[in-house]
Structure 1
Amino acid sequence: MNRTPADRPVPADPGDDGGTTVAVTGAEGFIGSHLTEALVRAGHRVRAMVQYNSFSSYGWLETLPAEVREEVDIQLGDVRDPGSVHALIEGAEAVYHLAALIAIPYSYRAPHSYVDTNITGTLNVLEAVRRLGTPRLVHTSTSETYGTALTVPITEDHPINTQSPYAASKAGADRLADSYHASFGTPVVTLRPFNTFGPRQSMRAVIPTVIGQIAAGERTLTLGDLRPTRDFTFVKDTARAFLAVGTAPAAEVAGRTFNAGTGGEISVGDLVRLIGKLMSADLDVREDCARIRPANSEVMRLVADAGRLRAATGWRPAYDLESGLAETIAFFREPANLARYKTDIYNI
């Protein structure tokens, strides 16, 4: 019996499916490596795309426990190349598309590269899924597409207001995903995480910037604007949200967008004070104009309403902010982990 992609079943529980193969783009990165680990521990074999590089570096995948790495097949490639994407996805029962350029400050400098990776790369993934009849595609969005909140908490019906080239490129990719579901029945679901943090995050983000500087012995910190508020979600909870939408019945999630966030809110300034308290550090915080976004580009307030995700899948965060920060601090206090970072420069 021939079935369309939307009709083909996706197991409700990844641990009960006998070890299906799933594909992950951006697997070597922060969230991608945590998702890869979570997928393996849930019973999957993971085919992981790592962006080709001449150093044969597999990024954070190299740090995963041996028993996890044994279940990961690494493919060097690039989402901007249709052939690489087709080879990755062929035979996979689900695709988790995380590959993206994500640093907002760098998007001011190199916007063309964001269109190439975030929009064209997503188009390549959508085309491969459509042509191969893959049962499920989870596409990654970002809360930055909402811009500064007009209503709080932010639901998925909040207007899209892209205030940076990065946000615009991700909104474009989201619209492509929506159009493929509408036009071709492509079984895509979009997950929109709010400000994920945790071990392995790059220094371009505020939490590792603060923790990393303190762990390296700094007490005078240089940061950007301290006023914006964010809904910070621990990375293990974000990984669980990906699994939730990747394994839920198609009728509950296909063609839909879901926020993933805690519903909590804290300003950058208060966050810095909390981290200082947790690390027993007296801090002198100074604003650096080089780290401040252009005035009309700064998103001042983001806080999630994740009720739709909870209703469709039962997902809810297991970590509060302080417990997530505790695990993140422990990670950065390990000398081997801290040595991977450049804490003394502005990382964009």
Structure 2
Amino acid sequence: MFNNQNILEYFNQLPTLLKIVWIGSVVLFILILFFLFYLYYLRTYLRSKELISKNLFTQYENDLITYLYLGENTSQINSEQQTIIDKMKVSIQNTFKRTILISVLSKLKSDISGEMALAINQLFIKTGLLNYALKKLESKKWNQIALGIKELTQFEITNVYNEISKFQNYPKQEVRNQVQLYYVSLFHFKGLEFLDNLKTPISEWNQIQLLEILQKFDDQEITDISPWLKSENDSVVLFALKLAKIYNQFQVIEILLQLLNHKNKEIRVSAIEILGYFQVKETKEIVKSNFLDRSSEEKITFFKILQDIVTADDEAFIIENTLNPNFQIRFLAFQLLKKNHIEKLHELKQNATEFDNSRIFNFLEVV
């Protein structure tokens, strides 16, 4: 007690600044101790949770594999299987356990196919997981809605089409992406009908995913893409252009020719590329008619496709563009001359004065 009084008297005699420093040091020391204990607790908690997760994952995986191999067919459930279902119904009442069970089902679903995959889809319904997925659609959080749609897609729940359609033009793109994947994954080409009234853009990444899914179903008959090529939604037009190329939709060539003058540059470039892929010669006259007014991307794309549809009538146009200020266009023009008018190329080389053109001749190995 005497020592404490001495310390207190000593502290009171200190200047104000030193008092503040001492108080600050003590507070900082206490905070450091607190955070050290908290980090220790957090680390212990996370390790414990990770261990529980691994044990539950292994347990659920064993139960599910047992369930799958106990059943002789997917239409009847025996008593042992029912016991596993009842056990899972109890587990999924806990959010943590429910999340792990869904991850196990997802893993198994991606590893198997055929009747066993159908059995997992049925198990998703019988355990009550379907109800939890549907409840997520009622959430005010966009990530929960997206997760719910993803689960309904993965376990092939086709009878909730109308409920999913409500989110077709949802403000958050992640939700719209999941809706589009739901349509195409479960209804294939017919699922593309959502493009008819789509007001929001389709992300480039989702377009790639949708095309990958569609290409798994080569036996499906593609629907008429003409309305989508005429859509006011530019992303729908761009997606339809990809479909036209992949599925060789020659019947839409007239519409593609009209798109050469579309207001969107990206659409014009894509139309030029696809018409070149189809080797449509009418493309040349349309593009050449206002070539100077077109963007650099369009000009470069046009010269690339010209290599497959070039004729003798194009010689003057090609020679004219050997003086184009754009180096890439100039190079492509010289490349066309080498392929189709080598004599004219030699003549131009003899009269060449520009350093850039000399580089082009050397690259093309013109002698």
Higher relative contact order (CA 8 A, sep 6+): 1
Length-normalised TM-score, structure 1: 0.24
* Bigger radius of gyration among the two: 2
